[in-house]
């Protein structure tokens, strides 16, 4: 992989997500060699993927080159490669571009979409975990509008204009709100040959309320906001089958739709090679101790979504959201330097900064530890937090410009089928 030999310890980080990037930053210009490996050459700001899917933002405003993040780190290298296997006996990884040895290995590979073993749904639905997948959804939505405009029958038009989103966690809720805005603001202006009333957005959730990870207060408000936007919310509803045209649920409901967006769950993305005991099979996350050290391995660590660290406060592990990944990345950087200096390590303690979700313009819900609220102020806070969390000044400026433009004009400017999606 053409990484120079070094007398310093070599720390290999697999994955340039929130966890891996923050770890790399905390090791910048220290007396260690850092090799960051990712199958993409950019960091993805996943919380705003739904805005790419719904034509609100261009993809390059939520992605950032990994090489640019580490460009001032004289001790760091980036390699564009997929890690295929770990050989813990020889302290080596096998990647799509060759082998590399490590002194310390950090796995920060995040999660992948969980279809719960349903092959039909996996083949026919649209996941939203990456920039290319978000672009596929954008293309499909716009292609369906075009096909609806030339449909030969009402039934055909209905199927093109029926959008089904499965999973009413923050991702599903935010996407449903954004697609409803396409219906309410874009369809009437751009598609005179379509009746907006013919477009339906269905949000299906297996639990008994939307936003199950958030408070009941947030769920109630979010459902009210969604209904006001015209989204049809169905809780206690599990999708059993989807063949590309018909969605079938546990309630016996059958619905014609050309678009089923799967936001119903994720599972870890572990890499082949470690002992089976190191992985909690049900969730595919590495079992780690309070220092993010993978069970049974002294020099292998896992951080972020892929790490399962049960604590008293979080017996089932930390939530798979950005903050634990960021905080674990930061702490592990300091702990690795302590480990190398033979100093005692500091255990990880998660500082919960709250959770939030937005549901279209002017509406959001925020859960803080002692205070829960929704509405315009929550939406303002949501915007500020997401803007400030984006990587890169340029991205922040572009996103702010786009949001302001869209807000004033009720527009979603990125309505382009650049790369048509073939079902
Ligand atoms: C649509 C969506 C919306 C979300 N919204 C929110 C939100 O609003 N708020 C919030 O806090 N959280 C949100 N999350 C969750 C949040 O994005 C994750 O918790 C966070 O990204 C986890 O960070 P991570 O570093 O563990 O993994 P990731 O950010 O997923 O990064 C993993 C990295 O590893 C790389 N990788 C994986 N396997 C390999 C391999 N074998 N070889 C090389 N590279 C590999 C990937 O390319 C990726 O860059 C959302 C997630 C999604 C999908």
Distance (Å, whole) CA 111 – CA 338: 29
CA 233 to centroid of ligand 1, rounded, Å: 27
User: How many CB atoms neighbour CB 403 within 10 A?
Assistant: 17
CA dihedral sign, ordered 65, 66, 70, 74: negative
Query: Does 16 sit in the ligand 1 pocket, CB within 6 Å?
Result: yes
Query: Does 56 sit in the ligand 1 pocket, CB within 6 Å?
Result: no
List the 231-234 sheet strands across, edge first: 126-127, 259-262, 162-166, 200-204, 231-234
Residues 6+ apart with CB under 8 A from 37: 12, 13, 14, 15, 78, 79, 81, 83, 93, 95, 100
Encode the chain (423 residues) as per-residue pLDDT tens digits.
Answer: 999 999 999 999 999 999 999 999 999 999 999 999 999 999 999 999 999 999 999 999 999 999 999 999 999 999 999 999 999 999 999 999 999 999 999 999 999 999 999 999 999 999 999 999 999 999 999 999 999 999 999 999 999 999 999 999 999 999 999 999 999 999 999 999 999 999 999 999 999 999 999 999 999 999 999 999 999 999 999 999 999 999 999 988 899 999 999 999 999 989 999 999 999 989 999 999 999 999 999 999 999 999 999 999 999 999 999 999 999 999 999 999 999 999 999 999 999 999 999 998 999 999 998 999 999 999 999 999 999 999 999 999 999 999 999 999 998 888 999 999 988
CA 310 to centroid of ligand 1, rounded, Å: 20
List the 83-87 sheet strands across, edge first: 83-87, 92-95, 98-101
Query: Does 304 sit in the ligand 1 pocket, CB within 6 Å?
Result: yes
Q: Which residue has the tokens 């382009």?
A: 416
Query: Does 37 sit in the ligand 1 pocket, CB within 6 Å?
Result: yes
Distance (Å, whole) CA 85 – CA 200: 45
Query: Does 317 sit in the ligand 1 pocket, CB within 6 Å?
Result: no
Bridge partners of 246?
A: 256
| Closest atom of ligand 1 to CA, residue 266 | 53
Q: Is 174 a known active-site residue?
A: yes
Q: Single out the residue of 385, 366, 363, 367 nearest to residue 375, CA to CA.
A: 363
Query: Does 18 sit in the ligand 1 pocket, CB within 6 Å?
Result: yes
CA 18 to centroid of ligand 1, rounded, Å: 7
CA 284 to centroid of ligand 1, rounded, Å: 15
Which is catalytic among the residues 174, 181, 223, 258?
A: 174
Q: Distance between terminal CA atoms of the chain?
A: 37
Taking the mean position of all CA atoms in its chain, how far away is CA 223?
A: 22
Distance (Å, whole) CA 83 – CA 99: 9
């Amino acid at each position: 992989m053409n990484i120079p030999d070094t007398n310093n310890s070599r720390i290999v980080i697999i994955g340039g997500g929130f966890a891996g990037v923050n770890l790399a930053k905390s090791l910048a210009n220290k007396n260690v060699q850092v090799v960051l490996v990712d199958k993409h050459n950019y960091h993805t700001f996943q919380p705003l993927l739904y805005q790419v899917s719904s034509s609100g933002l261009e993809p390059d405003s939520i992605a950032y080159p990994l090489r640019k993040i580490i460009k001032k780190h004289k001790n760091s290298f980036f390699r564009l490669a997929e890690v295929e296997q770990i050989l813990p006996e020889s302290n080596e990884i096998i990647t799509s571009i060759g082998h590399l040895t490590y002194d310390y290995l950090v796995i920060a590979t995040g999660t992948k979409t969980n279809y719960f073993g349903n092959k039909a749904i996996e083949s026919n639905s649209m996941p939203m975990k990456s920039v290319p997948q978000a672009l596929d959804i954008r293309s499909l939505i716009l292609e369906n509008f075009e096909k609806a405009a030339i449909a030969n029958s009402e039934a055909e038009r209905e199927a093109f204009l029926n959008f089904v989103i499965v999973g009413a966690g923050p991702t599903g809720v935010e996407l449903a709100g954004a697609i409803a805005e396409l219906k309410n603001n874009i369809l009437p202006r751009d598609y005179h040959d379509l009746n907006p009333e013919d477009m339906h957005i269905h949000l299906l959730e297996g639990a008994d309320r939307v936003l199950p990870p958030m408070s009941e207060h947030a769920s109630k408000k979010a459902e009210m906001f969604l209904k006001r936007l015209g989204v049809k919310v169905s809780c206690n509803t599990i999708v059993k089958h989807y063949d590309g045209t018909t969605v079938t649920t546990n309630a016996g409901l059958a619905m014609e739709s050309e678009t089923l967006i799967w936001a119903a769950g994720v599972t870890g993305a572990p890499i082949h090679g470690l002992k089976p005991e190191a992985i909690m099979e049900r969730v595919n996350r590495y079992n780690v101790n309070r220092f993010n050290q993978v069970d049974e391995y002294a020099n292998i660590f896992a951080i972020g979504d892929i790490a399962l660290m049960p604590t008293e406060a979080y017996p089932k592990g930390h939530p798979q959201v950005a903050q634990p990944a960021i905080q674990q990345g930061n702490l592990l950087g300091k702990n690795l330097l302590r480990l190398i200096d033979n100093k005692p390590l500091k255990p990880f303690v998660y500082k919960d900064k709250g959770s939030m979700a937005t549901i279209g313009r002017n509406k959001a819900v925020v859960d803080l530890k002692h205070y829960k609220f929704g509405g315009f102020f929550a939406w303002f806070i949501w915007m500020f937090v997401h803007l400030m969390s984006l990587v890169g000044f340029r991205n922040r400026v572009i996103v702010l410009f786009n949001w302001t433009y869209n807000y004033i004009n009720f527009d979603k400017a990125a309505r382009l089928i650049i790369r048509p999606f073939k079902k």
